[in-house]
Structure 1
């Protein structure tokens, strides 16, 4: 810490030290005034002493200014009165300078003290035998006391900064956990509950037994999936050190081709004729990128069922291009909403865009005049490496 530049930066006194300094200066001023009245008048030395004490009090607010005031007044006192008392005060003041001022001010103070001591010692009339050593010893002790006070203040500043950093880190960890839980709720449970709600509402309106059986089966399977998601979420909450199992990648194994086939079947079961197009060969894409694309497809289909359940048709297309794998999801509605108020989507699309960005992918959503379109891309394996 002593080698740190910030340790030697100018710093103010601790509030408690500032209060004690002002009390001490107040007592010294009262003593000087008392001696002046007792002796029947104030001498030039008494006036210099009072002004010097006022300069010392300035260390409570402006240490550098106070240091130069003290150096100036003690220099005047030594030259005019040739008093060793001024040297003693200058030596003691080194403790305040060392505790608050920058290194060059400390050096200037020490050099001035040495020069004035040499000036007085050359006369030999005001310093007792060995007085030079006494001044030097007091100066060294004052300097060490000042450094000690600076060390205590720096340590307190460091502890306050460390406490603030730890508090921010804990808040960031707590926020990250909240985000993870929110993601599990949105990506897992919300998807299944959307299917349950849709088919529960549609069940009384189904025209035949086969359609009712499809709705009942979907409700049962979605309820089981939601229950599993809740168990996974509880496990995530209880054990924050272990990453909770992701719901949808486990359902589709992070395979976008299987995912769009299953999601197309879900839309067909929901009464939305859906066309699915995907390559038959495995995709040239990293597993993390494919998982991000899979979750984006789930989000898109969930939004269609939730916000446009009366869509006339939909399509899910996966295209393996030269440098990217592209997912395009479209739906056609009877009366498309006016404007593009949902262009950027809510939390789900925001999270999907964030996941894709982490994989150097992109996500675009927009109205098409007769419905809605989502286009997502991720780099192929040649353009990215699997972080797993």
Structure 2
């Protein structure tokens, strides 16, 4: 089923993008063009009006003559069958074929053949190809039978029936062409609207990610050190807080400028082109984050190798952003933590990032089980084939990110 949908979509794109003649040829050869379809709404109204007029005329003749013949009954049933094309084309086509066949057999006249030939236009406009072929065969067989056995058909009447059938068939194809073209354009319009909505949501996600990953982290540091500044015990600690506030404010300003550029640039097609703002590797970032927590008064242990040689740059960046998110959460939700640890474990097949904090009894607020940052970190790790686990621990909060190395993928 998905393959059929892809083929149909490819056909629509070719039809919409080709030159007129080439597009017409492709449309006439497409499966969507020959599929059974309902009458166009305007054609449906016209059909109902025409059939109503014919019924009124037939009833008028019956009243004028004062008798109801078998031919009149067949005519009224035929008009009902023609009206049924507005709702059930296949059923209507078989009704018309049966009624006209009965009329030809009973009367041997050409009037029923003429009606059958005209009805070919409705069949060609709505029914599947096999119904059209069957209608043509029935019309041809009845015409040949009358022509061979002798009837009320005048000389050349066979050619007249054939000509009327050809005109009706071409008219039906024209209606089918208009309806199919309109359906293709409507479907394409809906697809474009869905694509634009998806692009808009993705752009919103990218902007929200940049706000969270950059500006929110820096503002968290500014807020933390601004609150801690009046309580710093000595001038050296005050200078550390002032320097951190200044650096974080400058970084937030750069993030805003980066965000404005991001909104003006086309979206990247791959995760590798995601606009990361941290140029340090995951191991270097772990060391820097450890110093940041120590400057915040939290005793921190960092354990990480010199480098991660078996991970791709994308995985390294995702681990970096995950570590930053974890430390930001500690500073935001548990600024009075007694201790913390950042550990990167470089295994043979996986790399693990483990961040923990021990809040003890002085915790001021609990870390939320899953905000936007952790949700996006979990999504990015999943794109790299990894996973993220986070939650409360007996003495605080912990996060574990696990992702396979290049060696583990071999």
Range into which the TM-score falls when normalised by the shorter chain: over 0.9
Contact persistence 2:220–2:332 (CA under 8 A): yes
Distance in 2, Cα, partners of 1:44 & 1:281: 97
Question: Which residue, out of 107, 123, 129, partners 1:81?
Answer: 107
Counterpart for residue 42 of structure 1: 68
TM-score by length of 2: 0.88
Q: Is residue 396 of structure 2 the alignment partner of residue 371 of structure 1?
A: yes
Q: Is residue 356 of structure 2 the alignment partner of residue 327 of structure 1?
A: no
Question: Which residue, out of 44, 51, 54, partners 2:77?
Answer: 51
Residues 336/121 of structure 1: CA separation in 2 closer, same or farther (3 Å cut): farther
Counterpart for residue 109 of structure 1: 135
SS at match of 1:249: coil
Of 141-150 and 163-172, deviating more is 141-150
Distance in 2, Cα, partners of 1:217 & 1:116: 99
Counterpart for residue 70 of structure 1: 96
TM-score by length of 1: 0.93
Q: Is residue 259 of structure 2 the alignment partner of residue 246 of structure 1?
A: no
In structure 1, the gaps of 5 or more residues are: none
Contact persistence 1:336–1:369 (CA under 8 A): no
Q: Is residue 228 of structure 2 the alignment partner of residue 202 of structure 1?
A: yes
Residues 120/330 of structure 1: CA separation in 2 closer, same or farther (3 Å cut): same
SS at match of 1:274: strand
Distance in 2, Cα, partners of 1:19 & 1:284: 70
Q: How many residues align?
A: 379
Counterpart for residue 12 of structure 2: none
Residues 347/314 of structure 1: CA separation in 2 closer, same or farther (3 Å cut): same
Distance in 1, Cα, partners of 2:367 & 2:320: 25
Contact persistence 2:308–2:346 (CA under 8 A): no
Question: Deviation string for 1:222-260 (max 9, x for gaps)?
Answer: 00000000000011112235799835323x2xx011101
CA deviation after TM superposition for structure 1 residue 191, in Å:
0.3
Distance in 2, Cα, partners of 1:366 & 1:183: 22
Q: Is residue 340 of structure 2 the alignment partner of residue 314 of structure 1?
A: yes
Distance in 2, Cα, partners of 1:318 & 1:74: 85
Residues 336/118 of structure 1: CA separation in 2 closer, same or farther (3 Å cut): farther
Contact persistence 2:268–2:274 (CA under 8 A): no
Question: Which residue, out of 380, 383, 387, partners 1:358?
Answer: 383
In structure 2, the gaps of 5 or more residues are: 1-26
Distance in 1, Cα, partners of 2:307 & 2:112: 94
Question: Deviation string for 1:295-336 (max 9, x for gaps)?
Answer: 000000000001111110001111211112211101001239
Contact persistence 1:188–1:247 (CA under 8 A): no
CA deviation after TM superposition for structure 1 residue 383, in Å:
3.4
Counterpart for residue 145 of structure 2: 119
